[in-house]
Structure 1
């Protein structure tokens, strides 16, 4: 977790040690290949039993002990003792194994953390609460179990001057989709959420597709088994009893956590909460459908339990969700995802020389070739660079702004990606409305009570920046399913609002760790995520005449642009002229 200091003070990252659950080991083949050239579906030519013996021989030669061995992607094997160890210890083992003549490569199976921040007094009052009186914005007034008072979903509302300058302006994107879909058919989209798993909430009825659980350690999973077809979130709380009775599992890097985060539900609620049903809050993707034009479009892929997520679980979850076969894979999904939301991250550069870099690079390249976009949160350490895999080439990285459009105090900086308002925290207190989204009142296990268990909560962290870019990408694919991964990334970045607010804080310095500061394109990515601009330009590349958003800052109604009129005036000449200039910036 991040220690959050008063505004303007230096941010102190968590000093607890990095931890790992064993190693990912690839033995040599007759024709050795680097991980960056392997296929995810590669299988060792000598079979499982021979691999088992060769791994044992290499481990014995290099004094590496393990109790558990299982096959994984890229023809590799995961080995561990059943207990977490420090990253330094695992890395020392990896270095010894890399020196063995029968070993091709080794990756430390690091346990990475979710990119959310704890706050001191989470409210339970739900509702969109549009605030500006515009009838064109969905207004959810709450029901018997969902009173209408509360901070409202400012992150999901329109631009309302300087007070909400960091928002993506989703209402204007909804307006555009309403107008566009009157004469066009929206394509189905599948979004995979790699997180703590699926948790029931009445505002998510009908929105879940089948998923899978890739958490391997039963105690971490909390479900008494390992990898299985049930992606349910069993809770990620960590008690003092956990740490005292099994310090080998609940290690020094695993903080005491009195309540479960229900992190996966929070992300899912942002994306796909049912809208205009009179309950709880709104979601970004109400207008979109999934396979067979059904309401279900979210694929829950459980990669994290107590203490975080193993790199191997994330890699397997990414491949499975994308429909990519690999060694030891369960039955692949009938409808693979086009977009992956990943709100977890670890340390290190994403290159061929780092520990996990090569396997992330190859996985991301494999997904890109399948047309799957990975969107990842930049991290919460107030560092000068994004966490991994947000810092990997081919990933769309997203960092956090406060509601006014300045860098959030905790947020990592980035030079490649985009930024969006997703809550600000100072001294463990929210300083703005944060991200108001779905949750559960259960402290450890889910509370299933229909009158007390289901609620909303204010969240903050780069965890909640990534799904906003995911939502925009999903809308873009709904209007233009032929977009490639690179086109999605390029359009999202090029249509972002390049002019960041300035004046309240000093300018961010790309070389110095800082709290709140005024962003530049060298410190917060290409600009502020702009939902209507990105969706409109995605439609334009499909051959439909659309114009740049004339006034993205037009309040809750989403600006002054008249989408039906613009669409009615389509012409090839106008379209050609449109593509020669960049969208207007405001």
Structure 2
């Protein structure tokens, strides 16, 4: 038996070993930093030895994460530094002297590790009296010197067919939606992006009041979060580009990249952003988050600038992208925080977002068998459980497959259309796409010729650092991409939530699909083919098909009207008894009332949103009308939360959540037995860790 004296001595000895820095060989300044995300097993000794609360301060989270990283490094023979924590047992871990893939392979072999994912960078991928809304209806396209010109306007918001020469068919019919609502100030849309210039006049009043003293506006900057004063912190702040790392200031300081940063071999941003000709030039700041924000909710009917899709919506900026993009860990932390989910080391977000816009992404799979995909799936599931909807840009891979996180279940993925309704050449497509929306396109292709159908939005004229108080708009510049299709849909979902506050992700997805307008089959460039399923070959402009570019073209008016009708029906979830008993079988029944005459329920789907500390086991998941009742076997006392999604004969989904209470199972007499208690580090683990620490130290010293 491990005596108290031995336990204290072992802990003291181990603490002394861990407190002394490991001798690490000198590393060249150009040696790359390897970053991975490590999730420990729930029963791992290092997890049981010291728990991490979701409400932990940054200092507390840093201490626990570094202790676990140090122990992991001692066992694997690699000096490790810990970064941010994503939950109670998932942390960023960094090292040098090997690639991230090599580090992941080494750490994945440790018996305490559940999964390891490389922490990869992802990148950002547009009848009020506002002047930029009107324009081209009064001044149609003309040809000057053989070059087409037109007054730039917000063609993408208007009713289909009202912009002519040629006819614009992909516009979303926002004016008819505005007759129903221009957006509620209680609906918050999170912009998960580069940050936002809140000093732009058309974004004035769009941000919630500051929650902390000295905060510019509600939101958070995730970029530059580091564990301690190591070299990793210097690199993180360089990437943050605002000199202060992660903090409550989510304003966009600019994400420019100098020529040296883009070309210096081994530098932090070596070959980060290539040009079309293969060179690596200086890159100006994108002001990407500001552009996205204007499309969602620019102040409207104010005789200034442009109109946002949802005039009255509020914005929550969450900065996750800096120079060269943003790490998966920052994006995942930002997504969870925006929805009000506790993240260790971050302050509580009291302004929970109802809609989250992610105009970003990269390569990768969201399969449950993929480590990175598992982390995204888990975060998306948690966000959906709060009642929030995530909208993601499909990507700009020129007709190739949708990347991560757009290929994850539980999100609304948006691809981009030209003004005539064909797929824009740059847009990614595939079965993961939910719906299509305008993404901007240029008819003129010659050098210096104006882009005729850009996505007009708010921006800043600063090439590097921002021009304070600037009132610039993207104008005739080539502001195009699925990055600007997604916020159009986010604004529409915000309008939907304004008329149906209880809107769920399942409901919003179904509504957008059912109300989408059919893709056109004519009107494109001569010789335009029909889009095919994505493969290894790029495809430019093509005529969309359902199932490849989503269900159709977004119809804002139809979607908002449909969301309002959902309020007429009520779903109830009833357990077989007021309080269920642990380990005993029971049933849950979902029913609906208030459906319009002639409508019926065609399918019922059950989702376990939160199993609590003692998860419930659903023995059946609904996939037909006969599954309105399901069997559950709760594991132990506590509670669990489920959601029932009922699809009616028109294709609309009606959702309801319910929290079910579980009583403890009757106590069964058992024979007495010896044994130690759980939750503390075992003798074998303590002794093994101490031996490993001493051995590694001798090895590091050369004998």
> What's the TM-score, normalizing by structure 1?
0.76
Q: Secondary structure at the match of 2:568?
A: coil
Offset of residue 52 of structure 1: 2.7
Q: Secondary structure at the match of 1:218?
A: helix
In structure 2, what is the Cα distance between the partners aligned to 1:300 and 1:441?
20
- Structure 1 residue runs of 5 or longer lacking an equivalent are 1-18, 117-124, 135-148, 290-296, 545-571
Task: State the number of aligned residues.
Answer: 492
Q: Which residue does 2:86 correspond to in 1? A: 72
For 1:528-586, what per-residue CA distance to the aligned partner results, in whole angstroms no more than 9, with x for missing partners? 11111110010011129xxxxxxxxxxxxxxxxxxxxxxxxxxx999435887749xxx
In structure 2, what is the Cα distance between the partners aligned to 1:484 and 1:410?
31
Alignment of 1:189-228 (within 5 A): 189-199=187-197, 200-209=199-208, 210-216=218-224, 217-228=236-247
Offset of residue 430 of structure 1: 7.1
Q: Which has the higher strand share?
A: 2
Offset of residue 32 of structure 1: 9.6
In the superposition, relative to structure 1, how do residues 463 and 33 fare at CA in structure 2: closer, same or farther (>3 Å)?
farther
Q: Does 1:240 align with 2:259?
A: yes
Q: Does 1:156 align with 2:175?
A: no
Alignment of 1:214-363 (within 5 A): 214-216=222-224, 217-243=236-262, 247-255=266-274, 256-286=281-311, 288-289=312-313, 297-328=314-345, 330-363=346-379
Q: Which residue does 1:454 correspond to in 2? A: 472
Q: Which residue does 2:36 correspond to in 1? A: 23
Larger Rg: 2
**Higher RCO by CA contacts (8 Å cutoff, separation 6 or greater):** 1
In structure 2, what is the Cα distance between the partners aligned to 1:32 and 1:521?
51
Q: Which residue does 2:689 correspond to in 1? A: none
In the alignment, is the contact (CA less than 8 A) between 1:272 and 1:285 conserved in 2?
yes
Q: 1:479 aligns with which of 499, 516, 519?
A: 499
For 1:475-501, what per-residue CA distance to the aligned partner results, in whole angstroms no more than 9, with x for missing partners? 111001112211111111111113433
In the superposition, relative to structure 1, how do residues 244 and 399 fare at CA in structure 2: closer, same or farther (>3 Å)?
closer
Q: Which residue does 1:166 correspond to in 2? A: 170
Alignment of 1:548-567 (within 5 A): none
For 1:344-373, what per-residue CA distance to the aligned partner results, in whole angstroms no more than 9, with x for missing partners? 101111012223100000000001111111
In structure 1, what is the Cα distance between the partners aligned to 2:351 and 2:533?
41
Q: Which residue does 2:13 correspond to in 1? A: none
Query: For structure 1, which segment, 472-481 or 426-435, has the greater mean C-alpha deviation from structure 2 after superposition?
Result: 426-435
In the superposition, relative to structure 1, how do residues 169 and 101 fare at CA in structure 2: closer, same or farther (>3 Å)?
same
Q: Secondary structure at the match of 1:78?
A: strand
In the superposition, relative to structure 1, how do residues 214 and 581 fare at CA in structure 2: closer, same or farther (>3 Å)?
same
Q: CA RMSD in A?
A: 3.4
Query: For structure 1, which segment, 373-382 or 492-501, has the greater mean C-alpha deviation from structure 2 after superposition?
Result: 492-501
Q: Which residue does 1:386 correspond to in 2? A: 402
In structure 2, what is the Cα distance between the partners aligned to 1:33 and 1:164?
60
In the superposition, relative to structure 1, how do residues 82 and 244 fare at CA in structure 2: closer, same or farther (>3 Å)?
farther
In the superposition, relative to structure 1, how do residues 527 and 82 fare at CA in structure 2: closer, same or farther (>3 Å)?
farther
Offset of residue 40 of structure 1: 10
Offset of residue 51 of structure 1: 4.8
In structure 1, what is the Cα distance between the partners aligned to 2:88 and 2:404?
20
Alignment of 1:448-527 (within 5 A): 448=468, 454-457=472-475, 458=477, 459-502=479-522, 504=524, 505-512=528-535, 513-527=538-552
In structure 1, what is the Cα distance between the partners aligned to 2:551 and 2:109?
42
Q: Which residue does 2:568 correspond to in 1? A: 543
- Structure 2 residue runs of 5 or longer lacking an equivalent are 1-31, 140-149, 209-217, 225-235, 275-280, 570-592, 601-647, 652-703
For 1:51-87, what per-residue CA distance to the aligned partner results, in whole angstroms no more than 9, with x for missing partners? 534423433554545445343335212122489x9xx
In structure 1, what is the Cα distance between the partners aligned to 2:359 and 2:265?
27
In the alignment, is the contact (CA less than 8 A) between 2:387 and 2:502 conserved in 1?
no
In structure 1, what is the Cα distance between the partners aligned to 2:255 and 2:61?
36
In the alignment, is the contact (CA less than 8 A) between 2:421 and 2:519 conserved in 1?
no
In structure 1, what is the Cα distance between the partners aligned to 2:435 and 2:33?
30
In the superposition, relative to structure 1, how do residues 271 and 70 fare at CA in structure 2: closer, same or farther (>3 Å)?
closer
In the alignment, is the contact (CA less than 8 A) between 2:262 and 2:272 conserved in 1?
no
Query: For structure 1, which segment, 223-232 or 427-436, has the greater mean C-alpha deviation from structure 2 after superposition?
Result: 427-436
Q: Secondary structure at the match of 2:379?
A: helix
In the superposition, relative to structure 1, how do residues 63 and 379 fare at CA in structure 2: closer, same or farther (>3 Å)?
farther
In the alignment, is the contact (CA less than 8 A) between 1:415 and 1:526 conserved in 2?
no
For 1:405-437, what per-residue CA distance to the aligned partner results, in whole angstroms no more than 9, with x for missing partners? 001101000224100111125869876412011
In structure 2, what is the Cα distance between the partners aligned to 1:489 and 1:33?
41
In structure 1, what is the Cα distance between the partners aligned to 2:96 and 2:472?
35
Offset of residue 511 of structure 1: 3.9
In the superposition, relative to structure 1, how do residues 261 and 351 fare at CA in structure 2: closer, same or farther (>3 Å)?
same
In structure 1, what is the Cα distance between the partners aligned to 2:261 and 2:400?
34
Q: Secondary structure at the match of 2:179?
A: helix
In the alignment, is the contact (CA less than 8 A) between 2:35 and 2:119 conserved in 1?
yes
In the alignment, is the contact (CA less than 8 A) between 2:358 and 2:392 conserved in 1?
yes
In the superposition, relative to structure 1, how do residues 55 and 403 fare at CA in structure 2: closer, same or farther (>3 Å)?
same
Q: Secondary structure at the match of 2:299?
A: coil
Q: Which residue does 2:597 correspond to in 1? A: 576
In the alignment, is the contact (CA less than 8 A) between 1:375 and 1:470 conserved in 2?
yes
In structure 1, what is the Cα distance between the partners aligned to 2:257 and 2:371?
28
In the superposition, relative to structure 1, how do residues 407 and 20 fare at CA in structure 2: closer, same or farther (>3 Å)?
farther
